[in-house]
Amino acid sequence: MNASGPIEGGSLDIAVAATPARWAPNGGQWTTDELQAARAVYDRLMVRDENDQPVPELLAKIVPNASFTAWTLTIRPGILFSDSAPLTAEVVAFNLKAQQNDEANASLLAPISTVTATDPQTVVVTMSTAWSMFPEVLTTRIGTIAAPATLLGFDPRPVGTGPFLWSGVDEAGVTTLVKNPTYWKKGLPHLDAVRFVPIPDAADRVTAAIDGKVGMAAVDEPRQLVRLESVQNRDSKITIHDDRNAERPKVNIALETGKAPFDRLSARRAVAYATDRADILSKAFAGQGTIARGMMSDTSPWFVDRSAPARDVDRAKKQVEDYTKDTGLPLTFHLFVAPGTTMERVASIWRGQLEQAGIDLVIDLVEPATLSLAAAIGQFQAILQVGFGSSHPDFYEPLFYGIPAERTAVSSNTTRYVNPLVTRAFTDARSTADVTRQVDDYGTVQEQIAIDLPYLFLVQVREVIVSSPKLRDVTRWSTGSGVDGLGQDGATVSLAQLWIAR
């Protein structure tokens, strides 16, 4: 940093795969690029500190009752939206109710009974059941606060309390955001503008970053990660920001446990024993990433080592024999895969591994929208997907929720796997603030998943942010609570504190 501190002014170009299309926080899941853009325009009720713990941001404080069935949210005073409207409890309550009505959040927010603004600065959220981890939810898209007109779709311009204002999109699809002169964090932002430049091809985005045509980009394509490391080792054209201790999304296979063949444990064990994760990591990901050993990463404080079976072809063949003996049928199934070079490569490698154990796999390329529908209504046998990137296990409760032997037409429980031990563990963890007890509960969850195998976890993907060496304080920022914030949230960073060295 300069002796005189950050330099004011300048514009930052960020390379993205596509022009941000969805700005409303209640409009379904954001892509990484959309999340990065949202972090420029909006603030959240809670954020994560440098120790990955939730702390108040737009909130001054958040307090539960003794049973964790009610939470009192106190809004930080004096905050304005970019259109000069004040941030009030009524607006926060409106946002939380809008999130309840978003189908993508329905299962996760099911415990919420009422959301009430009790005075201009106070919101009370009541629950039908205990939910001690409620503050965790407010660090996500669900806690992102937008003006009511944005939530309702009345105004296409996103209006938030964040450091930048939406300015427009030009004919090339470049989205420009300009400095918010009334931003509530005094002295911020330092930049005059941020531009999101659409560059569809991952190789072209990396080239633009290396050549200095853009100042920042998120990268997760394996070949481009190898390329970036090579460039960084040769010269100082770029800086790679890579939090290897962070929770990362995991390539996994969801198995529909309610229908053949995976309604039988022998079939699930067969594909598990036949799977060689190290081979997939090496061949499909060029070694970029790590082997996934469960729904949480090895570095997570919630991780408990209950790994799924290691590759053992002989045991896989034995499970295939047991399946055929019980059913009179060969072990064969269809795998749904969204089109894309890396995922198709993973499916192809996995098919070869299964063949060695006498398992016949048919790969079906399915468009993402159709794949999501198939997952919701249970019309599949296996799905290759990317997920489980949340920092807290509580976010996965909807994936295992249900009543044994009851199959609803639409469910957030993709695999239709229901285990009373898992259900009780999630419920108990939500009823306490005792971390030791929660660790035990989540250990039970991970152990049962490893035994019953509704999911096969393959590879934890690597995501980095590459930036110009002139871009400073990329992962160093201060929360509204005055403590240091989490440097990287997935493959996104806070933009308010960034500045460009001359």
Structural domains of the chain ordered from first start: 250-461 (3.10.105.10)
| pLDDT above 90 for 420 | yes
Query: Any bridge partners for residue 336, and if so which?
Result: 364, 383
pLDDT confidence bin for 3, thresholds 50/70/90: low
Tokens 């996994």 correspond to 252
* pTM of structure: 0.94
Residue 307 DSSP label: P
C-alpha span between 331 and 271 (Å, rounded): 10
109-148 residue pLDDT tens:
999 999 999 999 999 999 999 999 999 999 999 999 999 9
pLDDT confidence bin for 246, thresholds 50/70/90: confident
C-alpha span between 465 and 475 (Å, rounded): 10
**Residue 1: its pLDDT value, please?**
44
Mean pLDDT for 87-102 is 97
Sheet holding 112-119, edge to edge: 59-64, 70-75, 122-127, 112-119
C-alpha span between 394 and 389 (Å, rounded): 12
| pLDDT above 60 for 188 | yes
- 75 with 161: CB under 8 angstroms? no
| Mean pLDDT of the chain, nearest integer | 95
Which range is least confidently modeled, 231-245, 426-440, 445-459? 231-245
- 103 with 85: CB under 8 angstroms? no
Provide the residue type at 300 as one letter. Answer: S
pLDDT confidence bin for 342, thresholds 50/70/90: very high
Mean pLDDT for 63-70 is 98
**Residue 5: its pLDDT value, please?**
82
Q: Which helix (H) or strand (E) is 175 found in, with range?
A: strand 175-179
348-393 residue pLDDT tens:
999 999 999 999 999 999 999 999 999 999 999 999 999 999 999 9
- 418 with 131: CB under 8 angstroms? no
**Residue 2: its pLDDT value, please?**
54
**Residue 474 CB neighbours (<10 A):** 21
Query: Any bridge partners for residue 127, and if so which?
Result: 112
